Chains A and B, each alone.
Chain A
Amino acid sequence: MLQFALRRLGILIPFLIGISIISFVVIQLPPGSYADSYVNNLRMQGTNVSAEQEADIRSTYGLDKSLPEQYALWIGKIVFAGDFGSSFRYNRPVSTILMERVPATLMLSLTAIALTWLLAVPLGILSAVKQYSVWDHAMTLLGLIGLAVPGFLLALSIMFIVYQNTGWLVNGFFSPPFREAPWSPEKVVDLLRNVWLPLLVLTVGGLASITRVLRATLLDELNKQYVTTARSKGLKEMANVLRYPLRIAINPLLSTLGWMLPAVVGGEIVISKVLNLPTIGPILLEASIAQDMYLAGGIVLILSVLTVVGTFISDILLAVNDPRIRME
């Protein structure tokens, strides 16, 4: 087991390096250097920037050096000092902004994934045991919606329907009176009144496909002889399904985390704009539009690292659950 974990860790490290290079390329992509946009921004605000100050900014970011050196400087500061550079748009260190906003994104995404699995397992069992039933077809329809309706549109439509019928405007995590208030039962209720919508939208996206995966593997397993044996020995159908085939069918589900995590994080970024959520999404959007690239690159880096680490954890879980994988 330890050996398996170490081997996976060995793959993880080149991955993290690859991600940091891609994020660095993202930072370098806009024409003109970061210092140019920085100085332009200052000048637009009416600040006088002398040539000396400009040179100063250049040397702080190592912009007078070659690209590999710049990369080493950038990643070194992040790894050893937690310094992601600073954002001219917000005039603050990128790391502070990340600390403020990323946890909310992460919490929302992880809750959505947990919710997806919680719903997908019973629904998948239902679809497999009662193949071609109304439920089964309902899941297919849900899958089509998840596939064809982009998240922001789904969020917008549900928001619109709720607003039309009840006058309730879902907005952010909390309604304005509760935003600064300390935690209280009323605040929790208010949170629930708002947070269900992003959770719903993020869940619909993955739910149908996860259910499909579970349904397919479960259907395969249900026809196997060990299931028939258990059945012929008089084991109740539900107990049988839950005890044996489900344990095997759950494995592919764990491995879906690898693609689900990036998808949910990406979905969260888009709907946070529509729903006005205080997560990293709106910041990334503004940073992109303003070409505040240290901020944008930092966000891409941190989100990618988190998803890769998440995938790593899911691989370990998979190996814990399935001895065949760690033996390979």
Chain B
Amino acid sequence: MSEEKTVTPSSRPRAVQSRIDNLRSQYSRGGQRRRERAEQLYSASQWQLMRAKFGKHKLAIVSLYLLGLFYLVAVLAEFVAPYDPQERSRQHLFAPPSEIHWFAADGSFTGPYVLSGRTRVDPATFRYELTIADDADVNPIVLFPKVEPYRLAGLIPMDVKLFGAEGRQPIFLLGADNLGRDIFSRLVHASRISLFVGFGGVIISFVLGLALGGISGYMGGRVDSLIQRTIELVMSIPQIPLWMALAAAIPPEWTGIQTYFAITLVLSLVGWTGLARVVRGRILSMREEDYVMAARISSAGTWAIITRHLIPGFTSYLIVHITIAIPYMILGETTLSFLGIGIRAPDVSWGSLLQQAQDVVVISNYVWLLWPAAFVVLAVVLFNFIGDGLRDAADPYAK
């Protein structure tokens, strides 16, 4: 709490000013807090600074919570989705999103319910139309209904769902597809594959990129130019045709899990180059820093310099880069699955759900088939907002 730092305005005599400051710091709690904050700022670690800065980025924080919700839903897919993704209802082919009613026919409040109905082909337009009888059954929507026992994520036995409709009418929050399967349930199950494909891909790219970029940057010379040329080579090949040809090599008889890992591998085989470049660039510039020289003079070994002095210096950059790399993986998976060479039925991913929406005439009849697209775009945008927030937070020179 020294007073030397306060700047004295020339209009006041020095002694008076210092007394005022003294009183302020004694009596105003705001001043006290500001001082403490400033002191904390001086002693804060890099991570605390980053977190504080990130916290000011409102959009990034909101995105983080929303995305957290996405992942929570993906983990709890069996609980959140009211039906099995493969469960068909023959009476509800292409059923539109269920209308949720809150009041009974006489106007009294009943709580949410859906009316029973079924879809039939309209003989004139050949389009499936929903018909609801005048005396249709009322099916209340309930929270935590009891269902057949199932296992959450294949592990935890459970017998309740988040919500569902009582009676014989299923509730289609986002409509039904060509086989009468609930799109919401399929979407929730699909998010498990689509959201986690990014993580797997990024981990592989991360290991490859960190190792090769690190070697390239630290060794320099011949090794460096060899690795750099390799990266340029991989980058110059059009990604999507290469993905397509590589995905084609996945044997059709492989199981869902195997295909999933193969797709992840295909995506990351191209994705590591960007990360390797970031790592190399950082290491190259930091290798020449004085503190690295100081460590070397103090006879620290190469390994110690890399792990103790270099890696902490660019971890924040790595995190930013990874956050931005994940949505690319998600888009890659979606594109491959949409084209029919990614995740295969019976497994569902956002891209494979969109396969039904390839034909504009079909979409114009059953526009709810496009729902998975909305989730893809939203997830990618959220990741990018978080990435922006992190980038600002990680940059020590940004205001």
List the interface of chain A (C-beta within 8 A of B).
Answer: 11, 14-15, 18-19, 22, 26, 29-31, 144, 147-150, 152-153, 156-157, 159-160, 163-164, 169, 258-259, 261-263, 265-267, 269-270, 273-274, 284-285, 287-289, 291, 293, 296-297, 299-300, 303-304, 307-308, 311
Contacts and interface: CB of A to CB of B under 8 A. Distances in A.
A148 B232 CA distance: 25
A38 to B, nearest CB: 16
B341 A284 contact: no
A284 B246 CA distance: 12
Contacts of A164: 364
Interface of B: 229-230, 232-233, 235-242, 244-249, 251, 327, 331, 334-335, 338-341, 354, 357-358, 360-361, 363-364, 367, 370, 373, 376-377, 380-381, 384
A169 B377 contact: no
13 contacts: A19-B233, A29-B246, A147-B380, A149-B377, A152-B338, A153-B373, A157-B373, A169-B361, A262-B239, A266-B241, A269-B238, A289-B248, A308-B236
Contacts of A26: 242, 245-246, 249
Contact of B240 (A258, A270, A293): A270
Contacts of A11: 229
Contacts of B377: 148-149, 153
Contact of A289 (B242, B341, B373): B341
Nearest to B334: A150
Per DSSP, chain A at the interface is helix
B373 to A, nearest CB: 5
Contacts of B331: 150
Contacts, number: 139
Contacts of A15: 229, 232-233, 236
A147 B339 CA distance: 19
A111 B273 CA distance: 28
Chain A CB within 10 A, most for which of B232, B238, B357, B361: B238
A163 B248 contact: no
A24 B382 CA distance: 39
Contact of A169 (B341, B358, B360, B384): B360
A317 to B, nearest CB: 17
Chain B CB within 10 A, most for which of A14, A147, A307: A147
A296 B249 CA distance: 11
B248 A296 contact: yes
Nearest to A282: B339
Contact of B245 (A156, A284, A308): A284
A288 B244 contact: yes
A307 to B, nearest CB: 6
Nearest to B239: A266
B242 A147 contact: no
5 closest A-B pairs by CB: A266-B240, A288-B248, A29-B249, A262-B238, A148-B380
Chain B CB within 10 A, most for which of A19, A148, A149, A270: A148
Given A26-B246, A300-B241, A144 B384 contact: yes
B236 to A, nearest CB: 5
B237 A262 contact: yes
B248 A30 contact: yes
Nearest to B242: A300
Contacts of A262: 235-239
A39 B83 CA distance: 44
Contacts of A300: 237-238, 241-242, 245
Contact of A30 (B233, B249, B358): B249
A120 B276 CA distance: 29
A274 B251 contact: no
A72 to B, nearest CB: 20
Given A29-B249, A270-B339, A284-B245, 17 more contacts: A14-B229, A15-B232, A18-B230, A29-B245, A29-B246, A30-B251, A152-B335, A156-B360, A156-B373, A163-B360, A163-B361, A163-B364, A262-B239, A287-B248, A293-B248, A307-B236, A308-B236
A260 to B, nearest CB: 11
A78 to B, nearest CB: 16
Contacts of A303: 238, 241
